[in-house]
């Protein structure tokens, strides 16, 4: 195929797994790679993976990748002749695309005009309606009968700037919150309102266009499992989709892309109502999607390679790709550094271990020892499995997640296992309301985990030639205490003898400070133990357990005043909603924190008086820092 704009050195204007993913295809094609990075990302794997790297200057890491001028200057410094935007950040910024082209660089993406047309969800709906694609109409003056409603950011996605409204009285406040979050995430606070379909499915179609009206369709993905309107589990093909609906979706997506002479890879997203077998246009993402791997695996294509081929001007890229058959089924999960049990609070810190085994594709932005900062999205990795059938793919993916070693931070791993193993998901009858109905937080009680941890800790202090924890008088057992939220803690009692350990209910078959084998009621289980300060990670075939050893003596400096509200995560204070000395009621919002581009409201734990407020808008806070103190009212 003749090439008009041959690319020799490619800069990826993005970070973490996104950059690594594009680099992988570039290496395959023999194209040199350039990474750009903030100071916060300097030690992440994608920087070392690139052939060249350029530091982006600036004291605001969260904004660094949004500086088009810095990225284009970096391309000049590195001698790059093309820029791939990845997804997120500037990937759907028409001005950035124009600036890239004006600098004489190849832009690996759609025409700036297409980005503009689809960049405003409001304008995009008008274009789609004219092209005959079904759209959801927003009520001009909503009334009670129109509820529930959905407030959405016009300029972005990923769940940011989205609010479900179930009361007209709350509409104004929810619009204000959505505007603030959208402005923070996308630099544009424009929002709009549309009907909210309670049990809809999120089904999207992958397209690749040549910019001349020719469009190839690579099937569809179901992305209905979402939390906070952000996707968690994606799969292809979409389950339980009637053939007629599937064909209509593909045709609608083709027409949508052709209507704007789309160039490159893009995704047309639809809301599908299974009960009526109707669907409506939601938006078009003029970029590669996070979930593109499931499409690649079932269609046997490399979407980044197709993006590059289109950008280089290779002939017949679309027509040569338009007869793609479906091979089996693929399922992807997004592994986030977040706590689903605490309203999905993002987590930051050192990821001490991140290891996967089994037959899976893992697109990761981090590795063992990486620092997860508060400046960016909380996603650590995508784990994708391809198999001949949906059931086989789900089973293999559950196994890969269960056996993964993920230490140092709380993640949504257990929730993902719970979702995949649930009848609700396995049935294929999923909807965007799935996680609103149940959190899927399985907790497997494993008394052996704490016993294994206690034995491993004892082994770490064993002296050569001396029985473990040797005592001349053994009337009382040794006691290892772990935190469990109770006053007494989780207590493991054990004896160290010349023959080894004696523990009620367990026989210690083998032990060292990293691995302990226990037998209980004739069943042997091996535990792997990793100790990092007072945190102990225990992995076994039963699951993963995190324990914290309770110190023998409490440090007075760690004690906090009753009623203290602690920062649940590191971040910045967006707003303070109450004044010191004012009366507050239980559940009343007191302040708003922002971390990883998501906002979290801190509320009063009880009725009382706001005795202290220790922060102001713009304050940077650490996890566990005292934000405010509420003194409970006494009668």
Rounded Cα distance, 131 and 126, in Å? 9
Closest by alpha carbon to 143, among 190, 98, 107, 193?
193
What is the fold, at CATH topology level, of the domain defined by 9-108? Rossmann fold (3.40.50)
Work out the number of other CB atoms within 10 angstroms of the CB of residue 614: 15
* Mean pLDDT for the chain overall: 90
What's the CATH number for 331-441? 3.30.470.20
Asked if residues 537 and 544 have their Cβ atoms less than 8 Å apart, the reply is yes
Closest by alpha carbon to 127, among 138, 136, 118?
118
Residues 6+ apart with CB under 8 A from 612: 580, 626, 628, 629
Q: What are the structure tokens assigned to 455, written together? A: 């034995």
- First vs last C-alpha separation in the chain: 83
Give all strands of the β-sheet with 163-165 in edge-to-edge order. 163-165, 149-153, 191-195
User: Is pLDDT at 1 greater than 50 in this prediction?
Assistant: no
Per-residue confidence (pLDDT) for residue 136, from 0 to 100: 83
What's the CATH number for 556-632? 2.40.50.100
Q: Which pLDDT tens digit goes with each residue over 510-567?
A: 999 999 999 999 999 999 999 998 899 999 999 999 999 998 765 554 556 777 888 8
What is the fold, at CATH topology level, of the domain defined by 199-327? D-amino Acid Aminotransferase; Chain A, domain 1 (3.30.470)
E strand or H helix that includes residue 119: helix 112-119
Rounded Cα distance, 539 and 562, in Å? 36
Q: Please calculate the CA angle 117-123-129 and round it to the nearest 5 degrees.
A: 100
- Mean pLDDT along residues 83-87: 96
Q: What is the 3-state secondary structure (H, E, C) of 393-425?
A: HHHHHHHHHHHCEEECCCCCHHHHHHHHHCHHH
Q: Which pLDDT tens digit goes with each residue over 491-500?
A: 999 998 888 8
Work out the number of other CB atoms within 10 angstroms of the CB of residue 558: 8
Q: What are the beta bridge partners of residue 351?
A: 370
More confident residue, 121 or 477: 477
Residue ranges of the chain assigned to CATH 3.40.50.20? 9-108
Q: Which pLDDT tens digit goes with each residue over 581-620?
A: 888 888 888 888 887 666 778 888 888 888 889 888 888 8
Which of 192-206, 291-305, 563-577, 605-619 is modeled with the greatest confidence? 291-305
Residue ranges of the chain assigned to CATH 2.40.50.100? 556-632
User: Is pLDDT at 320 greater than 80 in this prediction?
Assistant: no
Q: Which pLDDT tens digit goes with each residue over 360-386?
A: 999 999 999 999 998 898 999 999 999
User: Is pLDDT at 48 greater than 60 in this prediction?
Assistant: yes
- The residue behind tokens 């083709």 is 254
Rounded Cα distance, 265 and 17, in Å? 18
Rounded Cα distance, 317 and 312, in Å? 10
Q: Which pLDDT tens digit goes with each residue over 156-198?
A: 665 667 788 888 888 888 888 888 877 776 677 888 787 777 7
As assigned by CATH, the class of the 137-195 domain is alpha beta
Residue ranges of the chain assigned to CATH 3.30.470.20? 199-327, 331-441
């Amino acid at each position: 195929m003749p090439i008009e704009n041959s690319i020799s050195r490619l800069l990826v204007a993005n970070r973490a797994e996104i950059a690594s993913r594009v680099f992988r295809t570039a290496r395959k094609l023999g194209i040199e790679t350039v990474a750009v990075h903030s100071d916060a990302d300097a030690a992440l794997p994608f920087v070392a993976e690139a052939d060249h790297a350029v530091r982006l200057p600036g004291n605001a890491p969260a904004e660094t990748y949004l500086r088009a001028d810095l990225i284009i200057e970096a391309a000049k410094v590195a001698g790059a002749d093309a820029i791939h935007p990845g997804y997120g950040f500037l990937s759907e910024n028409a001005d950035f695309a124009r600036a890239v082209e004006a600098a004489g660089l190849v832009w690996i993406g759609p025409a700036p005009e297409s980005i503009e047309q689809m960049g405003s969800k409001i304008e995009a709906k008008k274009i789609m309606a004219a092209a005959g694609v079904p759209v959801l109409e927003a009520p001009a003056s909503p009334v009670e009968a129109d509820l529930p409603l959905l407030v959405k950011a016009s300029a972005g996605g990923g769940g940011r700037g989205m609010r479900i409204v179930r009361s007209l009285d709350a509409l104004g406040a929810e619009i204000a919150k959505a505007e603030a979050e959208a402005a923070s995430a996308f630099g544009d606070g424009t929002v709009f309102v549309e009907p909210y379909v309670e049990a809809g499915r999120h089904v999207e179609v992958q397209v690749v266009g040549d910019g001349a009206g020719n469009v190839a369709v690579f099937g569809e993905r179901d992305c209905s499992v979402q939390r906070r309107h952000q996707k968690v589990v994606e799969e292809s093909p979409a389950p339980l989709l009637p053939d007629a609906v599937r064909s209509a979706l593909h045709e609608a997506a083709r027409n949508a892309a052709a209507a704007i002479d789309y160039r490159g890879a893009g995704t047309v997203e639809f809301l599908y109502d299974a009960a009526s077998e109707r669907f409506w246009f939601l938006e078009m993402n003029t970029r590669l999607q996070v979930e593109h791997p499931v499409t690649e695996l079932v269609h046997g294509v490399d979407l980044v390679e197709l993006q590059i081929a289109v950008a280089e001007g290779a002939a017949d890229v679309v027509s040569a790709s338009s007869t793609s058959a479906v091979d089996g089924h693929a399922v992807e999960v997004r592994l986030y550094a977040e706590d689903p049990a605490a309203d999905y609070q993002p987590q930051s810190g050192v990821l001490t271990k991140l290891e996967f085994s089994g037959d899976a594709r893992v697109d990761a932005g981090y590795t063992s020892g990486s620092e997860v900062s508060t400046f960016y999205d909380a996603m650590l990795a995508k784990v994708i499995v391809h198999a001949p059938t949906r059931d086989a793919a789900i089973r293999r993916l559950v196994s890969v997640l269960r056996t993964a070693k993920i230490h140092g931070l709380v993640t949504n791993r257990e929730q993902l296992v719970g979702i995949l193993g649930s009848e609700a998901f396995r049935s294929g009858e999923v909807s965007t309301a799935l996680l609103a109905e149940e959190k899927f937080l399985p907790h497997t009680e494993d008394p052996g985990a704490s016993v294994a941890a206690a034995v491993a800790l004892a082994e770490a202090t064993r002296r050569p030639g001396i029985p473990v924890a040797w005592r001349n008088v053994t009337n009382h057992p040794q006691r290892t205490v772990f935190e469990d939220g109770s006053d007494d803690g989780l207590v493991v009692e054990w004896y160290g003898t010349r023959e080894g350990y004696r523990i009620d209910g367990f026989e210690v078959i083998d032990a060292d400070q990293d691995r302990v084998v226990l037998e209980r009621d004739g069943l042997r289980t091996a535990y792997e133990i990793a100790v990092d300060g007072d945190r102990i990670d225990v992995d076994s075939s039963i699951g993963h357990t995190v324990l914290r050893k309770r110190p023998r003596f409490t440090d007075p400096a760690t004690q906090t005043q009753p009623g203290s509200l602690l920062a649940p995560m590191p971040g910045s204070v967006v707003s303070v909603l109450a004044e010191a000395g004012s009366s507050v009621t239980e559940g009343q919002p007191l302040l708003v924190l922002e971390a990883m581009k998501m906002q979290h409201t801190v509320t009063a734990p009880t009725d009382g008086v706001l005795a202290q407020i220790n922060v102001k808008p713009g304050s940077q806070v650490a996890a566990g820092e005292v934000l405010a103190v509420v003194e409970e009212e006494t009668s």
